[in-house]
Structures are given as structure tokens and as C-alpha cells.
Amino acid sequence: NTMRDFLRDLPKCEHHLHLEGTLEPDLLYPLAQRNNIELPEQFPKTVKELEDRYKQFKDLQDFLDFYYIGCEVLLKQEDFFDLAWAYFKRSHSQGLKHAEVFFDPQSHTSRGIAIETVVSGFQKACVKAQQELHISSKLIMCLLRHLPVEDCKATLESSRVLFETQQLHGLGLDSAEKPFPPELFAECYETARTFHPDIQLTAHAGEEGDASYVSNALDLLKASRIDHGVRSTEDPELMARLARDKVMCTVCPLSSVKLQVFQDVRELPLTEFLNAGIPFSLNSDDPAYFGGYILDNYVAVQTRFDWDLATWEKVVRQSIEGSWCDDKRKNELQ
Ligand code: HPA
Ligand code: ZN
């Protein structure tokens, strides 16, 4: 298949990937067993049943209910390592070169796991991915916006040293978007900016929430990147701003269809973004839940948009340019 081969060989960067969202059903059950975790009564009993349930999510919350149960099977440093290493190996076969990946410490610290356990497991996988697969990576810690702000502040304090020592590079904001707007987290982001001069800030906005969530993430959180951002098209002034300030939107095609933000990949505002000059990257979000890793997302886009070589070169160049790695690494990626 020449289209897939062409897309596989493009030097791909992923900027919107939740490590907990890479937990495949065929790893979930063995981990539950290995850690003696009892899954809820109504939870599907087999890999096949779970895969079938993943084929139909009503909305973001319906997905998140499964995602947080999945998190419960992760306990030990090696579980976090195994999870991330499986992601890197699989994505390497799809042409991934650089990954900036999210994790949600609160899903784990709430169960008594130390944040250091989570981070050290992920970090080992990142080191191995660099050494054996030549994939560079950065870790982005996300705050869960559905939890009390006080909880998020405490999590931030517990992560201070990890940012100071640059084991963590970025701060993000995820989980249920709609009743939890960016303004609730302005203080958290202000605190995070004191942790390190090079800390990078992003936030999920404009997936469920309207365009004002995107504007407020820029104004009040001082985010330099927006995760999803697909509802920005509702506000022409915001579109002009995203283009002028070169704010990258990390678009997730298969995710947005699975969560019924759009009925089909062809409805994604990629042509609008290209015409407006807004940089974006294509990402898998939670590949174990949404039916595809990074290359599958590239293929889904090409099947609908039929871009020419020049457009793909532009999209690839913008995703390298918008990455949070240094110029030396960016040059290697070109
Ligand atoms: N949106 C919000 N929160 C999330 C997501 C997402 O796509 N994936 C994991 N947590
Ligand atoms: Zn996401």
C-alpha cells in the first residue's frame, strides 16, 4: 500500500498522547491479574467484550469513565514502564521520531502511588526509546480539571522538584472540559511558571468547550499550545490570533470522531487551519481506546483530504517546528 508507506516514512512528531490512553485491552487484564486488582462488577470480562465497548463512546465523559478504570491496574514502576515502552515500540513501527507525552499523576496518587514511581517508570521507557529506537521525548504532566483546584495545587507542589530538575518539561490540563473552564486553573499555571524558565504550557481546550475556552487558555493560562482547539473556527478573531502568534493546535482525528465531536474525519477543520495559516499536528490522543496510533491518524486524514506532497511537507514541517525540542534536534528531524 503506497499511501500508507509514504505516510509511514514521514518524520512524525506526536504532541497529544496520554500514556494512560495507550493501555491496550490485552495488557489491561494481565496487569489487573499481576497486581491483584478487582475490576468493577459491570466492567467487561474479556478483551473482546472490552474492544467492542470501545467501538462506541457517547461522548468525552463516557470514554473517561473507562479510561479512569483502566488507570487502576497500574501500580508499580514496571507497570508504568511496560505501558510506555509498548507505546514507543508500536509507534516506532509507524514512523514516530519525537513524542511529547501526557500523563495524569492524580489518577495514581489518589490510589496511594508516589508521583516519583509514575515518573521514574515512564522515564525509563523514554531513555530506552531514545537509546534503542532513536525516538526523542518529553514528559508533560496534566492536571485533572474535574478535581478540586486545591488537589491540583497540591499535585503541582509535589512535582516542583521534577520540573526544577527538568525531568518534566510541560504542564497540561485534561479530563472533562465543559463545566471546568481554564480560568479555574490560572493560579496553578502561574505557580508552574515559577518552577523553571523553560517550562512549556499547554491545555486541552475547544474540544467539548467552545472557542472561549481556547481564548481563555491563551489569556489566563498563558498556554503556548492548544490541545484539540478544533472549535476555534467559531471565532474569526481567535483564528487570526492563532495564526499570528503561531499557536499550534494538536488535532486528534480518530479521537474526535470516536467521541462524536465530528461525525467523520472529513469534518475536521484542517482546510480552515491550512488556509488561515494556523499550525497544527496530527495525533492519536488515546490510541488504545480510539482505534489507531499516529500513522493510522495520518492515513485517516489522507483518505478524506487527499493532500498533495507539498501539503504533507508543510504539515510535517510545522509539527517539527512546533515541537518543544531544541534546534539541533529539530534539524535532525527535518
Ligand atoms: N480529553 C480530555 N481528557 C482526556 C483525554 C481527552 O481527549 N484523554 C485523556 N484524558
Ligand atoms: Zn487528550
141: left (phi over 0), alpha (psi -120 to 50) or beta: beta
**pLDDT single digits (tens) 196-227:** 999 999 999 999 999 999 999 999 999 999 99
**pLDDT single digits (tens) 67-114:** 999 999 999 999 999 999 999 999 999 999 999 999 999 999 999 999
Q: Examine the pLDDT at 140 and tell me if it is beyond 90.
A: yes
Residue with cell 467523520: 264
**pLDDT single digits (tens) 26-48:** 999 999 999 999 999 999 999 99
**pLDDT single digits (tens) 226-248:** 999 999 999 999 999 999 999 99
Task: Identify any residues that bridge with 143 across adjacent strands, giving them in sequence order.
Answer: 173
**pLDDT single digits (tens) 46-64:** 999 999 999 999 999 999 9
2-333: CATH, from 3.20.20.140, 1.10.3720.10, 3.30.2320.80, 3.90.550.10: 3.20.20.140
250 lines ligand 1 (CB under 6 A): no
Residues with CB under 5 A from ligand 2 (ion): 285
231 lines ligand 1 (CB under 6 A): no
Q: How far apart are CA 156 and CA 87, in angstroms?
A: 26
Domain locations along the chain: 2-333
**pLDDT single digits (tens) 170-205:** 999 999 999 999 999 999 999 999 999 999 999 999
Q: Examine the pLDDT at 272 and tell me if it is beyond 90.
A: yes
Ligand 1, atom 4: closest residue by C-alpha: 175
- Asked if ipTM goes beyond 0.85, one says yes
67 lines ligand 1 (CB under 6 A): yes
Closest ligand 1 atom, residue 259 Cα? 7
Question: Which of 14, 18, 202 has most ligand 1 atoms within 8 Å of CB, for mutation?
Answer: 18
Whether residue 207 lies in the annotated active site: yes
Report, as an integer, the average pLDDT of 121-138: 98
User: To the nearest whole number, what is the mean pLDDT of the chain?
Assistant: 98
pTM: 0.98
Q: How far apart are CA 55 and CA 78, in angstroms?
A: 29
208 lines ligand 1 (CB under 6 A): no
Q: Examine the pLDDT at 1 and tell me if it is beyond 90.
A: no
DSSP states of 80-106: HHHHHHHHHHHHHTTTEEEEEEEE-TH
